[in-house]
Amino acid sequence: MKIALVHDWLNQMGGAENVLEELIDLFPGAPLYTSIYAPDLMPNSYRQWPIRTSFMQHLPAVTTRHQAYLPLYPLAFGQTDLSDYDLVLSNKSGFCHGVRTRRGDRRAIHICYCLTPTRYLWLYDQYREREQIGGVVNAVLQPVLSVLRRWDWSAAQRVDHFIAISNEVQSRIRSIYGRKSVVIHPPVDTDRFTPDPSAPVGDYYLIVSRLIPYKRIDLAVRAFADLPHEKLIIVGEGRDRSMLEAQAAGNVTFLGRQSWDRLVELMRGCKAFLFPGLEDFGIAPVEAMSAGRPVIAFAGGGALDTVIPGVTGELFASQTLESLQEAIAAFDPKRYDPHTCRSQAERFSRRIFRQKLRAFVEQVIRLQNAE
């Protein structure tokens, strides 16, 4: 079969790119269509891929200020005609599901792996708050967002099959787009994050995250200011780092970016991994469980799919200082079996992801051929 992959943009690394790398391995040689590509901002291995960009690639500073070109993405993907392929697999959090897959008698099957319905269109109030969008910018955006919502909904109706990354996202696909979907959780590198029975559990809690508003690292930093006998280590970079460091007490340590080996070591040694944000899935908590450690997470989003209260960690009910502090104060790391944590994480391994995705694609093809 002639297969094409589609991705929103290639100028930053995140969970979407983890999924993309698996798709590239699953479908070797398949061309990858995207709006923009910044080779200098992406891993060197990406330069070996057959990447096809849109007209947006030539716009001024687009790879470093891609948000400023928000209204152009529907046009870029709407002009991308993939109807000559047999199968199109889009990896969507933005607009890439809007590619054209039908022209005359030509029609490609379109499967959308949906990371989330476009967040800044459909969860705008939440997005505005976390990105601190002011009144003037908000007023200018409103008519643009209204047009984009109509386009986004219409594009979603042209997708043949949706896959959701979590039960939370499945619910959004149903309520926003009115479409059914199956859940196939994103891949987690459980081969990299492994337990070490000989490694002692340390005296610290751990966060690994980009330091940006919606991750709610501020909640954890403020919580530990009132927990002087506990320690928190934060790994990661982001625009909020200086602000968070200014808020932090002496029992909070910022390490910035760390090597994979060091990250595995920190995961293995933490009392628990903290996950205070609301995420569509959340790979880092599963990585911690894969290393044998429990998780304390906000009871929402993807954490509801991955963390088993009382077994592989705990869920705190609300994103408030009191709720998180109560969870930490009552937490006993000895209650959680590392092997059980590891077993739970293996349900989300790369191997399981590939098996489920391949089986779903084959099922879709069989149904198509039977028609």
Whether 28 shows a pLDDT value over 90: the answer reads yes
Q: 129 pLDDT exceeds 70?
A: no
Question: Taking the C-alpha atoms of 47, 51, 53 and 59 in order, what is their torsion angle to the nearest 10 degrees?
Answer: 0
pLDDT band (50, 70, 90) for residue 131? low
Mean pLDDT of the chain: 93
166-199: pLDDT as tens digits: 999 999 999 999 999 999 999 999 999 999 988 8
What is the tens place of the pLDDT at every residue in 216-265? 999 999 999 999 999 999 999 888 999 999 999 999 999 999 999 999 99
Look at residue 143 in the predicted model and tell me its pLDDT: 86
Would the pLDDT of 132 be above 70?
Answer: no
Helices (H), 248-348: 260-269, 283-290, 303-306, 321-329, 338-346
93 vs 173: CA distance, rounded Å: 12
| Over residues 279-305, mean pLDDT | 96
List the end-to-end C-alpha distance of the chain, in Å, as a whole number.
17
Q: Can you give the pLDDT at residue 348?
A: 97
- Name the segment(s) of the chain with CATH classification 3.40.50.2000: 3-187+350-370, 204-346
Phi, psi of 40 (to 5 degrees): -70, -15
Q: What is the pLDDT of residues 45-101, one digit of tens each?
A: 999 999 999 999 999 999 988 888 988 999 999 999 999 999 999 999 999 999 999
Owner of token pair 């790879």: 63
The CATH fold assigned to 3-187+350-370 is Rossmann fold (3.40.50)
Domain 204-346: top CATH class? alpha beta
Contact between residue 15 and residue 91 where contact means Cβ atoms under 8 Å apart = no
Query: Which two structure tokens, joined as six digits, stand for 348?
Result: 């989300």
Is the per-residue pLDDT at 136 higher than 80? Answer: no
Phi, psi (5° rounding) for residue 8?
A: -65, -55
pTM of the model as a whole: 0.90
Q: What is the mean pLDDT of residues 308-335?
A: 95
pLDDT at position 370 is: 80
Residue 133 pLDDT greater than 70, yes or no: no
Each residue of 337-368: pLDDT tens digit? 999 999 999 999 999 999 999 999 999 999 88
Residue 205 DSSP SS3: strand
